Structure formats: structure tokens, C-alpha cells
A and B are shown apart, each in its own frame.
Chain A
Amino acid sequence: EDQVTQSPEALRLQEGESSSLNCSYTVSGLRGLFWYRQDPGKGPEFLFTLYSAGEEKEKERLKATLTKKESFLHITAPKPEDSATYLCAAYTGTASKLTFGTGTRLQVTL
């Protein structure tokens, strides 16, 4: 059974304090690893897609990386507006199905 596990469940950072979120996956035949940001009461907003081990993508203060077993979302010098829940999802190509993790709830304080 495909599984995606995210850690930590919650993370509290001070503004400017860099850190990383982890997404480990056990799926058969990964074809894509997606990162989303979700604000309270809203739908997930697409951030990145990673396809192969060693790949990296960046957007503002966020950088996503991928290995054969896990993905990291690095947040550099975060600001309060980066506070959200970050979701990762693995795509195996089985009928376009995504397997989601439970998310990391990030809070960035002044």
C-alpha cells in the first residue's frame, strides 16, 4: 500500500529561523512528488513538482528536494506570511491518483 508520511506534525519558528520539513514515501513506481501549501479554510495551493532523485526546485524562500525515499521542503529565513500547512503528495501514475501525507502545520512568529 502506498504511504506518505510527513514530519514534524507541527513546527513553530521565529522569523528568520530556517528549517526543513520532511516527506517520506513508500510507493511503487513514483512518477512525481508534489508540494502544496494550505491556508486555514482554503484549498491546497500548488507549489512544486519533483520527478527524479536529485532534483531541486525553488520559489522565493522555499526549496524542495527529492531523494529516492524522501523529499524535503527547506524554508530559508521564513516570514509570518509563510505560516500555513504544507502538504506533500506522491503520484504513482495509477489512474492519476495522488497519495497525500497529513501535512506539517508551520507557524512563523515575529
Chain B
Amino acid sequence: DGGITQSPKYLFRKEGQNVTLSCEQNLNHDAMYWYRQDPGQGLRLIYYSQIVNDFQKGDIAEGYSVSREKKESFPLTVTSAQKNPTAFYLCASSTPGADQPQHFGDGTRLSIL
């Protein structure tokens, strides 16, 4: 079955530590996205990539970094510069175009130790 796999499901970060969230898709989608979801707020875009080896900042990119070395993979690193990392992180992918919905993984919940 095609889909998006995010791992781990739960992640804990210590002070000053960088952590990496994994996102893999087998939908053959060109575009991939990272969102952050906080209680009472809409999903906010962190980074997106429309093609391999290229990515752009979203609305809240500070304290985060990404890479896109393979079409299937779009890992997100939450750096120590992100002072409020506790959130639910969602990865999505789509075929570029207005009529193509974004499909989401089941998220990673990140907490601070």
C-alpha cells in the first residue's frame, strides 16, 4: 500500500540537542512538506520541497533544517536553536498542482525532557 511513513511516533529532546524526524513516501510524489501542529492553531508550514535537491522555507523555518537528497525522503532536523520545539510534526506529500491534495503521515510528537 502506498503511503507516508513518519518515525519515530514519539521523540524526546534534551536541552541543546538536535533531533531528526524521518519522513518517507512511496507515492512517487515530487512535492513534500513539513508542518507543525499546536493546540488551537492551524497547521503551519515549516519547509517544503517541490523537487529533489531543492527546498524552500515556509512560514516558521527558524530553528529547523531539512534535506531532500532522494525523492522518497524528506527528513526534518529540529535544532537547539528552536526554543519551543514541543509540538506534533506532520509530513505531507503531493503531486504539484492546485487539484492535487496533500497526503499526510501519522505524525511525530516531540517533547522536551
- Pick the residue among B45, B90, B99, B109 that contacts A44 (CB under 8 A): B90
Q: Which of B40-85 contact A (CB under 8 A)?
A: 40-45, 48, 50, 56, 58
Chain B contacts of A36 at CB under 8 A?
104
Stretch at the interface among A13-21, A68-76, A96-104: A96-104
Contact with B along A83-96 (1 / 0, CB 8 A): 00001010101011
Of the residues A49, A95, A103, contact of B42 by C-beta under 8 Å? A103
**Complex Cα–Cα for A7 and B4 (A):** 30
Determine which residue in B6, B44, B103 has the highest number of CB atoms from chain A within 10 A of its CB, and name it.
Answer: B103
A102/B98 in contact, CB under 8 A: no
Q: Contact residues of B with A, CB < 8 Å?
A: 4, 6, 31, 33, 40-45, 48, 50, 56, 58, 90, 92, 94, 96, 98-99, 101-107, 109
Is A46 a contact partner of B103 (Cβ separation < 8 A)? Answer: yes
Chain B residue at minimum C-beta to C-beta distance from A34: B101
B40 nearest CB neighbor, chain A only: A102
Q: Using a CB-CB cutoff of 8 Å, which residues 23-70 of chain A contact chain B? A: 31-32, 34, 36, 41-46, 49, 51
Residue of B nearest to A48 (CB): B101
Q: How large is the interface on A (under 10, 10 to 19, 20 to 34, 35 or more residues)?
A: 20 to 34
Q: Which of A42, A87, A93 contacts B107 (CB 8 A)?
A: A42
B58 near A97: Cβ-Cβ < 8 Å: yes
B56 near A102 with CB under 8 A, answer: no
Chain B residues with Cβ below 8 Å from A96 are 31, 33, 48, 50, 94, 96
In the complex the two chains form, is B42's CB within 8 Å of A99's CB? yes
Considering only CB atoms, which chain A residue lies closest to B90 in the complex? A43
> Which chain A residues lie closer than 8 Å to B105 at the CB level?
43
